[in-house]
Amino acid sequence: MKPPLEGELVRLRAPEPEDEPYYYQWINDPEVTYNLLARYPFTHAQELEFIAKPSSYGYVNLTIVTLGDALPIGNATLRNANPENRPADLGIMIGDRAYWDRGYGTDAMRTICRFGFEVMNLHRIELDVFADNARAIKVYERLRFVHEGRKREAHYRRGEYVDVVTMGLLAGELR
Ligand SMILES: CC(C)(COP(=O)(O)OP(=O)(O)OC[C@H]1O[C@@H](n2cnc3c(N)ncnc32)[C@H](O)[C@@H]1OP(=O)(O)O)[C@@H](O)C(=O)NCCC(=O)NCCS
């Protein structure tokens, strides 16, 4: 049986201090952060702190690496799980732009959702995405995330407001 954090193109693993230069590069890349909540520059110390925090039920933090050569290309998180309703908030970033549009994001998303349902026993995974992030929305729809709501002009980004769409996926719906 395939290990729970392994996909077809990527593997997810705990972040290590050696990943820090990659994280620093990704989270300070304006083309990457255009589609993230991140607004201010990040320091090396902040990244090391982010990497050092260990995963637990309410906070799962994973580096996405390529399956072939184990190159770090991004990060995925599941946060705020609770045992009563069993939801979690998902965040994903393929920070290395050379890997966009090559299926890595879809594979990483599928892998972390599978982990959430099969290993953590989540009932529901949700995320927020900017309404104009067509690339991400395509990935989420492909995995069967459902559009659940739209917060109008909820995020101010580089001179204008953008709507924020909430999408959700229930256990058993992942494709
Ligand atoms: C969003 C993200 C995770 C997607 O990962 P990815 O590896 O690029 O995604 P995939 O290659 O699996 O799929 C992207 C799909 O969108 C398509 N696409 C790209 N740009 C598009 C656009 N402007 N409109 C519609 N579809 C688009 C691609 O062609 C591809 O579809 P295909 O597989 O049918 O050809 C990644 O690009 C990323 O991290 N971006 C920066 C941060 C971000 O947006 N994070 C998500 C915040 S909610």
Model pLDDT for residues 89-147, shown as the tens digit of each residue: 999 999 999 999 999 999 999 999 999 999 999 999 999 999 999 999 999 999 999 99
What is the Å distance from ligand 1's center to 84 Cα?
Answer: 33
- The per-residue pLDDT for 161 is 98
The dihedral over CA atoms of 92, 72, 7, 99, expressed in degrees to the nearest 10, equals 70
Q: What is the mean pLDDT of the chain?
A: 98
Strands of the sheet containing 59-66, edge to edge, are 10-13, 59-66, 72-79, 87-94, 124-130, 160-170, 146-157
User: Would you say 62 and 14 are in contact if contact means Cβ atoms under 8 Å apart?
Assistant: yes
Mutate to test the pocket of ligand 1, among 9, 138, 147, 157 (most ligand atoms within 8 A of CB): 138
- What is the tens place of the pLDDT at every residue in 12-39? 999 999 999 999 999 999 999 999 999 9
Atom in ligand 1 nearest the alpha carbon of residue 94: 39
- What average pLDDT does this structure show over 163-169? 98
CATH fold group of domain 10-125: Aminopeptidase (3.40.630)
- The per-residue pLDDT for 2 is 85
pLDDT at residue 1 tops 90: no
Whether the model pTM is above 0.95: yes
User: Any residues with Cβ below 6 Å from ligand 1, and which?
Assistant: 32, 35-36, 92-94, 99-106, 127, 129, 133-136, 138-139
- What is the tens place of the pLDDT at every residue in 33-90? 999 999 999 999 999 999 999 999 999 999 999 999 999 999 999 999 999 999 999 9
The residue behind tokens 């580089």 is: 158
% the chain with pLDDT above 70: 100
Q: Measured between alpha carbons, how far is 75 from 29 in angstroms, rounded to an integer?
A: 14
Q: Which residue's CA is minimally distant from atom 34 of ligand 1? A: 138
- The per-residue pLDDT for 165 is 98
What is the Å distance from ligand 1's center to 122 Cα?
Answer: 25
